[in-house]
A and B are shown apart, each in its own frame.
Chain A
């Protein structure tokens, strides 16, 4: 985490993927529901850990901080569920629809990404799928490297906002 905060992307990736294993286990234990819900919570929590990583105090241990975020996201999920369950049952047509509401509530990263402007999405794809460095992806899209970084950051923040609005 310390190296990730200092800008070491490999260390940051390793931390996040290790966290994803712990988080998956944690949420699976707490939720009796489907795998998809667990994975949504894992992704939401990772996103929160990433975007709010500066709120971790270096002098404190890392685990309680990450655990507090996971717990917050879990409680948030319970609250949303209760609200959803309390909604009146709509007309019978709801029974036959292919659980449209349920999928709408999910953090489907791919679908969320489709709402992001083309150039930003291209950079994201190049960095991830083509395995290009931010610099090469930036050159390809005709942007400066810092503009590409800003673009990646904006996309992640946009994802976060969409998650919030979807709830």
Chain B
């Protein structure tokens, strides 16, 4: 069969129109399923803190805002990287901006912290479990997200995998905020970011393996 035959077959296949927002729909749906899965895991595994009290605390909203903003930036980058020839400039700029703002907030808060309080602000009481828990919560989301991206066309598989990891890591960290009672900005900056970066690293390796086409 020659190229012309192949073209005729593909034309016959084109009679069904493509649905609108295909990339957003695929990645978004995968991440949504992943978020539900991490919520279920969180409730069964660690439980949820007293949300009525938490939602009155600025520290809760600070953490939620930071992690969901990172997830949003991760989504923008991922969406671009699934399209050949598209540049993820906006998403990367948003990511840098979010990180820099959080860095500013953390430094500002540390400067007004007393000397003996610094250690507590940096390490809290859960620093050694926080990143691992975030990564564990992100696993289902990462799996579904990479699976959906196999239908798309990432020309840089490791980079696309890393950004998908960052996206689902941000969501998982937001979900983890429903449990975690740490209050310091520095803690969030260091350990939450560490957990999300861990997801990005796993995503990069998995993407490099799985996103070839």
Is the Cβ of A6 less than 8 Å from the Cβ of B3? no
Report the bound CA distance from A160 to B153 in whole Å. Answer: 13
Report the bound CA distance from A42 to B69 in whole Å. Answer: 42
Chain A residue nearest to B80 in the complex (CB)? A57
Partner of A152 from the list B5, B9, B22, B213 (CB cut-off 8 Å) is: B9
Is the Cβ of B4 less than 8 Å from the Cβ of A48? no
Is the Cβ of B7 less than 8 Å from the Cβ of A16? yes
How many contacts A-B (CB < 8 Å)?
Answer: 120
Is the Cβ of A156 less than 8 Å from the Cβ of B85? no
The verdict on B11 contacting chain A, using a C-beta distance below 8 Å, is yes
Chain B residue nearest to A154 in the complex (CB)? B13
The verdict on A117 contacting chain B, using a C-beta distance below 8 Å, is no
The verdict on B101 contacting chain A, using a C-beta distance below 8 Å, is no
Chain A residue nearest to B23 in the complex (CB)? A55
Write out the residue numbers on chain A whose beta carbons fall within 8 Å of the beta carbon of B1.
Answer: 109-110, 113
Report the bound CA distance from A117 to B84 in whole Å. Answer: 33
Is the Cβ of B13 less than 8 Å from the Cβ of A156? yes
Report the bound CA distance from A124 to B12 in whole Å. Answer: 9
The verdict on B171 contacting chain A, using a C-beta distance below 8 Å, is no
Nearest CB on A from B23, distance (A): 6
Chain A residue nearest to B156 in the complex (CB)? A72
The verdict on A144 contacting chain B, using a C-beta distance below 8 Å, is no
Report the bound CA distance from A66 to B10 in whole Å. Answer: 16
The verdict on A105 contacting chain B, using a C-beta distance below 8 Å, is no
Query: What's the tally of chain B residues with a CB closer than 8 Å to chain A?
Result: 32
- Size class of A's contact patch? 35 or more
Given contacts A13-B11, A64-B85, A72-B155, contact A5 B17 (CB under 8 A): yes
Given contacts A48-B153, A48-B213, contact A17 B7 (CB under 8 A): yes
Chain A residue nearest to B79 in the complex (CB)? A57
Partner of B6 from the list A43, A56, A65 (CB cut-off 8 Å) is: A43
Partner of B10 from the list A8, A12, A67 (CB cut-off 8 Å) is: A12
Write out the residue numbers on chain B whose beta carbons fall within 8 Å of the beta carbon of A52.
Answer: 84, 151-153, 213
Report the bound CA distance from A47 to B10 in whole Å. Answer: 8
Write out the residue numbers on chain B whose beta carbons fall within 8 Å of the beta carbon of A152.
Answer: 9, 12-13
Partner of B5 from the list A66, A109, A134 (CB cut-off 8 Å) is: A109
8 contacts between A and B (CB under 8 A): A9-B11, A10-B11, A16-B11, A46-B6, A109-B5, A113-B1, A124-B9, A152-B13
